[in-house]
């Protein structure tokens, strides 16, 4: 869990007191929850011996892109501190970028998903 540094202030207020920061946090928490549900659903299908390729690709695509969105928002919240190695945000951003390109890029996941959807409607 990333903890907001207390020294980050703007207009003599802690950055966490601003509505925009709270909206970012709400968006991040909502998308993280959605990604977890998608991952659990794909895992449940696999464990039940049912087809799961489409759902697994959807979960990987959504989770990896969601992680990048969340890290970008975290860097925005942290401002210049987000780039410093003193805070974990910059490392999380690098790690998240790898999830978009490792084990099948987002574009490959989209191809897998579209192939499976087209099979279903054919």
Q: Which residues contact 99 (CB under 8 A, 6 or more apart)?
A: 63, 64, 67, 68
For 15-121, CATH number? 1.20.140.10
pLDDT bucket at 81, cuts 50 / 70 / 90: low
Residue 6: per-residue pLDDT: 58
In the chain, domain spans: 15-121
- pLDDT tens digit string along 37-53? 999 999 999 999 999 99
Percentage above 90 pLDDT, the chain: 55
Beta bridge partners of 10: 13
* Mean pLDDT along residues 63-91: 84
pLDDT at position 99 is 85
Give yes or no for a contact between 77 and 4, defined as CB atoms under 8 angstroms apart: yes
Q: What is the mean pLDDT of the chain?
A: 87
Torsion 27-32-37-38 (CA) sign:
positive
Burial annotation 52-79 (CB, 10 A radius, 16+ → b, else e):
bebbbbbbbbbbbbbbeebbbbbbebbe
Among 24-28, 39-43, 89-93, 114-118, which is the least confidently predicted range?
89-93
Rounded Cα–Cα distance for residues 27 and 115 (Å): 30
Could you list the active site residues? 103
User: For position 101, what pLDDT does the model report?
Assistant: 85
Measure the CA dihedral 50/56/62/68, to 10°.
150
Question: According to the model, what pLDDT value does residue 4 have?
Answer: 57
């Amino acid at each position: 869990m990333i903890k907001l540094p207390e020294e980050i202030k703007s207009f003599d207020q802690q950055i966490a007191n601003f509505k925009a920061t709270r909206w970012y946090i709400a968006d991040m928490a909502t998308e993280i929850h959605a990604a977890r549900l998608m991952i659990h659903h794909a895992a449940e299908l696999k464990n039940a011996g049912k087809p799961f390729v489409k759902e697994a690709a959807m979960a990987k695509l959504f989770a990896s892109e969601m992680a990048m969105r969340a890290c970008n928002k975290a860097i925005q919240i942290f401002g210049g501190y987000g780039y410093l190695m003193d805070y974990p945000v910059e490392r999380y951003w690098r790690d998240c970028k790898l999830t978009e390109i490792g084990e099948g890029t987002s574009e490959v996941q989209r191809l897998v998903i579209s192939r499976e959807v087209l099979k279903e409607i054919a």
